């Protein structure tokens, strides 16, 4: 296996804990990715990167790292490998993200191309950072504005043609704090009060909680699927969905009504 964990096709096995300290290609960490990439309405909330992040979250919930969300100004990077609108995600670009603690993705057209951000053809995309690593300010530029979140690990998934499928990151809180954090950020992510109420009822039952909230339309105009996993730690996973199928006027109206397009 190359030192940078990048490969061109998924392997047959994976050991996520061993990879947690590196910036790896999604194919290396994911292991058994499904080969069919169906329409979002048929996959529901089982997208490739969501499945991958279940593995990442298993590592995250065993660490002591806590990353909190915040809204800040735009992130900046070195001119050598990133321009004013887009961080590069090749090896040099990842090195800049690590050294500056900042990344910026232009998703104004809910699209990101592997060729534009330095990702080699055939790669699924990078996981940048690690669950126990330093905080990265990740700025996402959407159709209606930009938003900056703090996370220690995020991933970008590309289709076989190099088009972007999703951007995912996680935030971690002490047990019992995740629900309050979501309530405070309800308008930011366009979360419905009814979804939060269902989540609160799950929490009241006790034990571990695993619930998907969404999709929803964030204030930035991006369509986001939010997953709450509460147990020894409260972990929130956010996935920006980039398929055109989510961004038609009809689909956006359905999402805002609480329907799946």
Which positions ≥6 away from 80 have C-beta within 8 Å? 92, 96
* Predicted confidence (pLDDT) at residue 239 exceeds the cutoff of 60: yes
Question: Alpha-carbon distance 128 to 107, whole Å?
Answer: 18
Question: Alpha-carbon distance 67 to 178, whole Å?
Answer: 11
Q: Is 168 exposed, middle or buried (0-12, 13-18, 19+ CB in 10 A)?
A: buried
Predicted TM-score of the model (pTM):
0.72
Averaged pLDDT score across all residues of the chain: 75
Of 247, 185, 256, give the one whose Cα is nearest residue 40.
247
What pLDDT, on the 0 to 100 scale, is given for residue 207?
A: 79
Could you read off the pLDDT of 12-37 as tens digits, one per residue?
A: 333 232 333 344 555 444 332 222 33
Could you read off the pLDDT of 61-120 as tens digits, one per residue?
A: 333 343 444 444 333 333 333 345 789 999 999 999 999 999 999 999 999 999 999 998
State the pLDDT confidence band at 256, using cuts at 50, 70 and 90.
very high
Domain chopping of the chain, boundaries: 16-256
Tokens of 86: 């887009």
């Amino acid at each position: 296996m190359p030192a940078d964990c990048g490969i061109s096709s998924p392997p047959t096995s994976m050991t996520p804990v061993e990879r947690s300290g590196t910036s790896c290609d999604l194919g290396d960490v994911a292991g058994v990715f499904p080969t069919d990439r169906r329409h979002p309405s048929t996959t529901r909330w089982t997208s490739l990167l969501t499945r991958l992040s279940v593995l990442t979250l298993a590592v995250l919930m065993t660490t002591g790292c806590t990353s909190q969300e915040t809204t800040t100004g735009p992130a900046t990077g070195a001119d050598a490998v990133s321009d004013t609108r887009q961080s590069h995600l090749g090896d040099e670009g990842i090195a800049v993200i690590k050294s500056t603690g900042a990344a910026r993705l232009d998703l104004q057209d809910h699209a990101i191309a592997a060729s534009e951000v330095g990702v080699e053809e055939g790669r699924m995309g990078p996981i940048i950072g690690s669950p126990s690593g330093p905080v990265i300010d990740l700025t996402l530029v959407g159709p209606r504005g930009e938003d900056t979140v703090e996370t220690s690990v995020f991933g970008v998934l590309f289709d076989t043609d190099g088009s972007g499928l999703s951007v995912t990151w996680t935030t971690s809180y002490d047990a019992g704090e995740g629900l309050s954090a979501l309530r405070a950020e309800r308008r930011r992510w366009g979360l419905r009060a009814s979804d939060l109420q269902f989540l609160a009822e799950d929490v009241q039952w006790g034990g571990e909680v695993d619930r998907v909230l969404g999709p929803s339309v964030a204030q930035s105009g991006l369509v986001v699927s939010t997953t709450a996993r509460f147990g020894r730690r409260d972990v929130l996973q956010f996935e920006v969905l980039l398929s055109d199928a989510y961004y038609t006027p009809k689909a956006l109206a359905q999402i805002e009504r609480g329907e799946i397009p």
